[in-house]
Structure 1
Amino acid sequence: MKYLIAMLGILVVFGLTYIASSDRQKIRYRPLVTMVILQFILAFVLLNTVVGTFLIKGFSNVFAKLLAYAGEGVNFVFGGIANEGQGPFFLNVLLPIVFISVLIGILQYTKILPLVMKYIGLVLSKVNGMGKLESYNALASAILGQSEVFISVKKQIGLLPKNRLYTLCASAMSTVSMSIVGAYMQMIDPKYVVTALVLNLFGGFIIVSILNPYVVDKEEDILTVQESEKQSFFEMLGEYIMDGFKVAIIVAAMLIGFVALIAFINGIFDGIFGISFQQLLGYVFAPIAVIMGVPWKESVDAGSIMAIKMVSNEFVAMLELGKQTAMSSRTIGIVSVFLVSFANFSSIGIIAGAVKGLNEKQGNVVARFGLRLLYGATMVSVLSAIVAGIFM
């Protein structure tokens, strides 16, 4: 039964994406079929094989060690501030982002990361049938982050037509940055984080190829990665330390605001209508949860968490998921995969602002197709959750 529901879900996602396509005549089906098959293979390997278990365990162990090292720095500054046996969310989950950011900075400074991203991007372009720039950007978004990635291609931002700019922005919203992966792994099962990272990369290519199809001429397909300004090693360290700290503070501020706002709105709805705002959103999103493979009896609760992710962010939704005690492990897995992306309303402003900082005209273009951007990124999350659910 779950296979029939999964097939129905995939058809619904493709149908909804096809309806909203900007140019159906330009859709190329061969790369699509290849990437869908790749998604199935990768999901199977990661979730149902010894090799996948080994890879995920290795990946999560690396982050566990990195978080332990980060904890040394956090404890040195904040040791004793928490009650014994308790770990504040900000200290244990968000502040380690600073250390992960530093490691990314070192890999950038030593030219290791740009080289890896550039050549893996070239290989991906052969699979997805898209431009080298689009392929590089999708991979870079998953490592650098949804705003920082545009700096690496800022020379080309002002030269891009609307359709190519949309693809770059959709990739940034469909993935998550490596600097906060460790934080996710402390909130949900690492295997779902790793699975979502891989599936979203190809899912982004699949959805954009239907929603926003185009062909890039070889003359236009030039990949020029922006070199960072020459800095000393310690200048770079200071910059990435502060960047990581800013991310932690911003996420903390958004959590305070969104969690409080949702509680406030829940109180109003409960007092007037006898049903919380979260429950209401749950009923709206329940059909989407069902086509993702969630049983109907759990669909309202799952839909509520999915909706919270869209209207606030994935951190708030992951906190809500952690409170669920009655959900089956399969439902938790499916919803977890859905949550691992930046597909929410606040990301529209973040991405538009990042592009506008580099090119004001193009930033205004991004702001105009913001809702379409969220639509595409949400389809990517739904597709990844469906494919992962087949192997749970």
Structure 2
Amino acid sequence: MSFIINIIGIIVVFAIAYLCSINRKGIDFVSILLMFVIQLVITWFMLTTKIGGQFIQIVSKFFLWLIHCSMSGINFVFGDLVSLNGTPSFFMSVLMPIIFIVAFFDILTYFGILPALINGIGFVLSKLTRAPRFESFFATQVMFLGNNEALAVTRQQLNKMDDKRLLTACMVGMSCVSVGVLGGYMQLIDPKYVLVAIPLNAVGALIITSFLNPYKVSKEEDVVYNPAKSGERRNFFDMLADSMLTGGKLALIIATMLIGFTALITASDSVLGLIHKNLSLENIFAVLFSPFAYLMGVTHSQVFTVSQFMGEKLATNEFVAMGKLHPILNKLNPHTEAVISTFLVSFCNFSTVGIILGSVKSLFNEEKTKLIAKNIWRLLVSGILVSFLTAMVVGLFVR
């Protein structure tokens, strides 16, 4: 039954994207169908085949190794403060490892390993999906770098391109994650759902933006501009020091946002509770997202709970939602665990909209900034629909 409901849910997602399109006549349905088939193949391979399962185990063990290495430094500095009553604290075990993980991937970038991986995946993705090369490369970049970093890296080409392509890049950025936080995700939800959601989000973002903002790119414009390298190569240890400081800032920024948003939700719920004892932000969002939770194939008894997590992710961020989901994972059936876990793996929330708009304002001219500001709601719709599509596609294979 959940399979049929998921199929209906996917059709509903496509229908909403179609209705919100800037140019419905320009939609390339053949390309969209091709990308959707690619999503199905990726999910089938990673969740049902032996090779896919082995790939997930290898990558999961790799990230667990990164976390283990991180904890050696954390234990050396903080000692007994790492755990509270024998239980590792969220800040120490989930956020502090970000420092080493960011540094590790910056080392891979310094030696050209990560850029080569991004270029290779982007090239294959553009060939398979028939999407423009730049958009395919950008979708690959945001899988690893995050939204504002990807915008900064590609700003020179985006400044030369049609404004519609910048809008697509910003919409794609709503569905990204940063490789530095993957270790944190894997400690809160099943690593296999983290790893399957990342490529599905990338392809899904191309699908949804092909609905929302369709356009044709000429052969002359279908290029990826590689800016010339300036000056001599940066000193390795200088890069490494900056990278670790960046990781530390990221961990503190996430911690600050978690403290602030959690406190804000508590304060809001206290005020709403004065109106009615059952009135809260969680319950309001649960009501709004309940139809979509049902279309994800969630059982009736768990629809309200799942829709609360979906609402918390949108209003705050995925770490808040994952932190609350983690203690009850063993109470959810396999299908429900799969769809809500994959739904949460992205940066799509209200604060990300502000981050992207701020990045555009600092990197591009006023005209491009006004375009993005005018289409802010499309950014949010894009990110939400991609998360729904990813969850529903995964739901087809987990019952």
Match of 2:374 among 354, 368, 379: 368
Write the distance in 2 (CA, Å) between the matches of 1:225 and 1:107.
19
Write the distance in 2 (CA, Å) between the matches of 1:228 and 1:239.
19
Correspondences of 1:304-323 after superposition (within 5 Å): 304-323=308-327
CA RMSD across the alignment: 1.6
Report the number of matched residues: 392
Write the distance in 2 (CA, Å) between the matches of 1:310 and 1:10.
20
| 1:164 positional shift | 0.5
Helix, strand or coil: the match of 2:199? helix
2:171 maps to what in 1?
170
Write the distance in 2 (CA, Å) between the matches of 1:221 and 1:41.
26
The answer on whether the counterparts of 1:200 and 1:384 sit within 8 Å (CA) in structure 2 is: yes
Unaligned runs of 5+ in 1: none
| 1:364 positional shift | 4.0
| 1:326 positional shift | 4.0
1:75 maps to what in 2?
75
2:265 maps to what in 1?
262
Write the distance in 2 (CA, Å) between the matches of 1:83 and 1:318.
20
Match of 1:301 among 301, 305, 315: 305
Correspondences of 1:12-27 after superposition (within 5 Å): 12-27=12-27
The answer on whether the counterparts of 2:139 and 2:203 sit within 8 Å (CA) in structure 1 is: no
Identity within the alignment, %: 39
Alignment-mate amino acid for residue 117 of structure 1: I
Unaligned runs of 5+ in 2: none
Correspondences of 1:1-392 after superposition (within 5 Å): 1-81=1-81, 82-83=83-84, 85-226=86-227, 227=229, 230-275=233-278, 276-324=280-328, 326-361=331-366, 362-392=368-398
The answer on whether the counterparts of 1:187 and 1:319 sit within 8 Å (CA) in structure 2 is: yes
TM-score (ref. length: structure 1)? 0.96
* Cα distance change, pair 102–228 in 1 and its aligned pair in 2 (3 A): farther
Alignment-mate amino acid for residue 295 of structure 1: T
| 1:299 positional shift | 0.9
| 1:84 positional shift | 5.0
The answer on whether the counterparts of 2:3 and 2:395 sit within 8 Å (CA) in structure 1 is: no
Alignment-mate amino acid for residue 170 of structure 1: M
Write the distance in 2 (CA, Å) between the matches of 1:69 and 1:241.
14
Write the distance in 1 (CA, Å) between the matches of 2:374 and 2:247.
29
Alignment-mate amino acid for residue 382 of structure 1: F
Alignment-mate amino acid for residue 146 of structure 2: G
Helix, strand or coil: the match of 2:182? helix
Helix, strand or coil: the match of 1:391? coil
Helix, strand or coil: the match of 2:177? coil
| 1:83 positional shift | 3.4
| 1:270 positional shift | 2.4
Write the distance in 2 (CA, Å) between the matches of 1:391 and 1:117.
27
| 1:266 positional shift | 1.7
Write the distance in 2 (CA, Å) between the matches of 1:80 and 1:328.
36
Encode CA deviations 1:41-92: one digit per residue, 9 max, x unaligned.
2112222222222111111100000110011111111112243512111111
Encode CA deviations 1:245-303: one digit per residue, 9 max, x unaligned.
11111110000011111112122222321213212221111001011111122111111
Encode CA deviations 1:73-125: one digit per residue, 9 max, x unaligned.
11111112243512111111011111111112111111222222123212211
Write the distance in 1 (CA, Å) between the matches of 2:268 and 2:286.
14
Write the distance in 2 (CA, Å) between the matches of 1:335 and 1:102.
30
TM-score (ref. length: structure 2)? 0.94
Write the distance in 1 (CA, Å) between the matches of 2:369 and 2:320.
27
Write the distance in 1 (CA, Å) between the matches of 2:186 and 2:331.
21
The answer on whether the counterparts of 1:152 and 1:225 sit within 8 Å (CA) in structure 2 is: no
| 1:330 positional shift | 2.0
| 1:140 positional shift | 0.7
The answer on whether the counterparts of 2:289 and 2:310 sit within 8 Å (CA) in structure 1 is: yes
| 1:36 positional shift | 1.0
Encode CA deviations 1:212-266: one digit per residue, 9 max, x unaligned.
1111112222312344774111111112111111111111000001111111212
Encode CA deviations 1:123-156: one digit per residue, 9 max, x unaligned.
2112222221111111111111111112221212
Write the distance in 1 (CA, Å) between the matches of 2:319 and 2:372.
24
Alignment-mate amino acid for residue 125 of structure 2: L
